[in-house]
Amino acid sequence: MTRLLPAGAGDAAARPDFYPTTVRPGIGFTALSTDGNGRRGRITTAHGSVETPAFMPVGTQATVKAMTAEAVAATGAEIVLANAYHLMLRPGSERIAKLGGLHQFMNWSKSILTDSGGFQVMSLATLREVAENGVVFKSHLDGSRHELTPERSMAVQEQLGVDIAMALDECVRYPASEEDVRRAMRFTIAWAERARAAFPLLPGRGVFGIIQGGVDMTLRTECANAVTAIPFDGFALGGLAVGEGHEAMIAVVEHTTPLLPAAKPRYLMGVGKPEDIVAAVACGIDMFDCVLPTRSGRTNQAFTRRGEVNLRNARHADDPRPLDPDCGCPTCHGYARAYLHHLAKAEEMLGGILLTWHNVHYYQELMNGLRGAIVAGTLADFRAGFAEQRARGDLAPL
């Protein structure tokens, strides 16, 4: 079995030397404005500030797919998500530590949050055995056996040098039996305590606990009460956006968010579609991540104010207009729908590059709009306008 950590990786003496020492331990969070349950805040980490509500583009394998780090920054993103499970298997967290940490490795100077690996063990690994101590699984890459414990996941994330680490949790597939959901919740709580104890107090770095419990409100309450009793830097809702649908998801968010401390950031993991984000922000969620803008970009789907647009559709073949005339991204500034359609038909990489850039830009602009609406106290109007624009549908053909 591969040992993922060098001996002493949790010791301060063995800590990679890229950790700064001039910032106070943990991350900062300030709620600046509220509008209903929605809130506008600011997270501060060792790598700067993150205006919230924030969307984190997904950089699973230390790259936001099809974008340079410079392009990601140009969209306004202040934090990206990477994945501890993927990076510990390839290229290895020790290797990244020796190369100066994940920020330097992927040329990203702003904040990074890593998922702990709990979700990927559920969705990608084979032959996983979950026990009180942790998870034993086979790598999806080469079948090699690995053990992931709460302590090991924390140490991997510490080696990566991320700003926000996530406690190891157990995710269950949806739908799942009440017994499975309950067991996953219990492991998640027990592992959360061990994760917090294992992750050292580091300047400008923090660790978030995760609330599981499926769509069972009683379990969500029980989990929230237990996990929020642990001194985490923030709290996440996990186990959603796995097939339960918008209504069920938002019901869990509405139920659980008030159980989380107002003084800490709240993160809805793996969410989501623009309409999911808008609804969850109104519930008081501060952080999001989702593969949709990047994955859709590579399959010729664009997000616009007027809904989703499929660039392979022949209606765009002669259309000289940009995807969205009001969008300020480089794709909408320089390229017509007809060209994006041509790239899609010709299966040219530039199609995925331009649409990913646009989609990530769209998500950042959506968050910017939500932040502005909360400050102005017009979140309800923003939501109505958002729904109305989408209901109109795409531009009429010329």
Residues at the contact surface with a copy of itself, assessed by CB under 8 A? 61-63, 65-70, 90-91, 95, 98-100, 104-107, 298, 317-318, 320, 330, 334-336, 338-339, 341-343, 345-346, 348-350, 352-354
Q: Where are the alpha helices (DSSP H) in the chain?
A: 69-74, 84-89, 93-98, 102-106, 118-123, 150-160, 178-198, 217-228, 246-256, 274-282, 292-298, 330-334, 337-345, 349-376, 379-392
Rounded CA separation 243/250 (Å): 13
Selecting among 115, 233, 319, 324, the annotated active-site residue is: 115
115 counts as catalytic: yes
Rounded CA separation 308/297 (Å): 11
Selecting among 169, 276, 286, 289, the annotated active-site residue is: 289
Q: Which residue in 37, 26, 31 sits closest to 383, CA to CA?
A: 37
Residue nearer to a copy of itself on the CB measure, 103 or 255: 103
Exposed / middle / buried, residue 387 (Cβ in 10 Å: 0-12, 13-18, 19+): exposed
Helix (H, G, I), strand (E, B) or coil at 236: strand
Q: Considering the complex, what minimum distance in angstroms separates the CB of residue 321 from a copy of itself?
A: 11
Rounded CA separation 111/388 (Å): 34
CB neighbours (10 Å) of residue 275? 15
Exposed / middle / buried, residue 10 (Cβ in 10 Å: 0-12, 13-18, 19+): middle
289 counts as catalytic: yes
Q: Considering the complex, what minimum distance in angstroms separates the CB of residue 345 from a copy of itself?
A: 7
Residue nearer to a copy of itself on the CB measure, 197 or 349: 349
Residue nearer to a copy of itself on the CB measure, 96 or 164: 96
Q: Considering the complex, what minimum distance in angstroms separates the CB of residue 319 from a copy of itself?
A: 9
Q: Considering the complex, what minimum distance in angstroms separates the CB of residue 101 from a copy of itself?
A: 11
Exposed / middle / buried, residue 273 (Cβ in 10 Å: 0-12, 13-18, 19+): middle
Work out the angle at residue 241's Cα, subtended by the Cα atoms of residues 236 and 244, and round it to the nearest 5 degrees: 120
CA distances from 172 to 92, 204, 273, 291 (A): 26, 32, 21, 19
| β 38-45/266-268 pair status | unpaired
Q: Considering the complex, what minimum distance in angstroms separates the CB of residue 299 from a copy of itself?
A: 13
Q: Considering the complex, what minimum distance in angstroms separates the CB of residue 348 from a copy of itself?
A: 5
Exposed / middle / buried, residue 314 (Cβ in 10 Å: 0-12, 13-18, 19+): exposed
Residue nearer to a copy of itself on the CB measure, 223 or 340: 340
Residue nearer to a copy of itself on the CB measure, 257 or 296: 296
Q: Where are the alpha helices (DSSP H) in 49-142?
A: 69-74, 84-89, 93-98, 102-106, 118-123
Residue nearer to a copy of itself on the CB measure, 67 or 292: 67
Q: Considering the complex, what minimum distance in angstroms separates the CB of residue 216 from a copy of itself?
A: 37
Residue nearer to a copy of itself on the CB measure, 2 or 225: 2
Residue nearer to a copy of itself on the CB measure, 60 or 133: 60
Q: Considering the complex, what minimum distance in angstroms separates the CB of residue 154 from a copy of itself?
A: 23
**DSSP assignment letter at 364:** H
In which residue are the tokens 């700003």 written?
163
Residue numbers annotated as active site: 115, 289
